[in-house]
Amino acid sequence: MQIVILDTLEQVAEYGAARFIDLLAKKPDAALGLATGSTPIQLYKTLIRHFEQGDVSFRDARTFNLDEYLGLSGDHPQSYRHFMNTQLFDHIDIDRSQTRVPDGAAEDPLAACDAYEDAIREAGGIDLQLLGIGRNGHIGFNEPSSSLASRTRVKTLTPDTVKANQRFFKPDEFQPNLAMTMGIGTIMEARQILLLATGEGKAEAVREAVEGPVAARCPASILQMHPRATLVLDREAAQGLRDVAFYEYIERENQRLLGRLK
């Protein structure tokens, strides 16, 4: 697990954007795993800026989003399909037919989950999976107690997660408590994983994910077992870690080995 600690949200987003840009330069048709929520918004703004500057093209890329609310169609303003369209897809040169989000309005959600797994396999697997982390350690909508080998499925959201997302819904608006999500086993099959975390509200979850035991009570802790997982944190999200100086030393040495430092 590579731990990168940066000073600001903007630096976290720039680091994440560079990973996507580097991958697409080497593999223009890469399969990208994308995420929603507050944390990725700055990353998407940064990617849009780089696209407008001519630094990256998404023309041949394929995307798979982590999750979607069950019961919301893609044109619902609170759906994650709508989020991705407005926050990223509408502003870059991606082929919209190559962007996939679980179908929250599917008549048979279980069959739709199986079909989503099939689509990922047919794409050759995900090259780079973007993640955020919930305050309770969830990744995607894999809440605490989720099987560490789980596949794409329907999940019941915890009251804490529902409350955390309540700010996105109007007081009289239907807010789902069920979601379709890639499973932890699915996420772990990505060739590379990039988790971004910012703000002191994520500090406890980050500490459990990095320094706690690998356990279903903190789903993100499974990333300790991935050979190419990178956690990019700002200072506030890293403040609960026991040895920040050691992680920074390791990263400096990593960069030196890669020839990025003079």
Tens-place pLDDT, residues 99-113: 999 999 999 999 999
DSSP calls for 39-85:
HHHHHHHHHHHHHHTTS---TT-EEEESEEETT--TTSTTSHHHHHH
Identify whether 143 is a catalytic site residue: yes
- Over residues 215-242, the mean pLDDT reads 97
CB atoms within 10 A of CB 71: 16
**pLDDT tier at 163 (50, 70, 90 boundaries)?**
confident
Total count of residues recorded for the chain:
262
**pLDDT tier at 34 (50, 70, 90 boundaries)?**
very high
What whole-number distance in Å separates Cα of residue 139 and Cα of residue 152? 13
- Over residues 225-238, the mean pLDDT reads 98
Catalytic member of 65, 68, 103, 138: 138
Show the tokens assigned to 52.
């407008």
Identify whether 60 is a catalytic site residue: no
**Residue whose token pair is 């919930």:** 134
What whole-number distance in Å separates Cα of residue 127 and Cα of residue 90? 22
What whole-number distance in Å separates Cα of residue 161 and Cα of residue 163? 5
Catalytic member of 65, 67, 103, 234: 67
Q: Could you tell me which of 143, 255, 132, 123 has the C-alpha nearest to residue 189? A: 123
Q: Which neighbouring-strand residues pair with 126?
A: none
Show the tokens assigned to 60.
């041949």
Catalytic member of 127, 143, 208, 234: 143
- Over residues 225-254, the mean pLDDT reads 95
| Contact assessment for residue 24 and residue 57, using Cβ atoms and an 8 Å cutoff | yes
CB atoms within 10 A of CB 200: 13
Q: Which neighbouring-strand residues pair with 153?
A: 181
What whole-number distance in Å separates Cα of residue 33 and Cα of residue 116? 12
What whole-number distance in Å separates Cα of residue 25 and Cα of residue 226? 24
CB atoms within 10 A of CB 218: 24
Structural domains in the chain plus CATH codes: 2-257 (3.40.50.1360)
Q: Could you tell me which of 85, 111, 105, 106 has the C-alpha nearest to residue 96? A: 85
| Mean pLDDT for the chain overall | 94
Catalytic member of 65, 68, 136, 165: 136
| Contact assessment for residue 247 and residue 5, using Cβ atoms and an 8 Å cutoff | yes
Q: In what order do the strands lie in the sheet with 178-181?
A: 67-69, 178-181, 153-156
Is a pLDDT exceeding 60 seen at residue 32?
A: yes
SS3 237: helix
Q: Which amino acid is at 1?
A: M
115-141 in b/e form (b: 16+ CB < 10 A) is bbbeebeebeebbbbbbbbbebbbbbb
**pLDDT tier at 260 (50, 70, 90 boundaries)?**
low
pTM listed for this prediction = 0.94
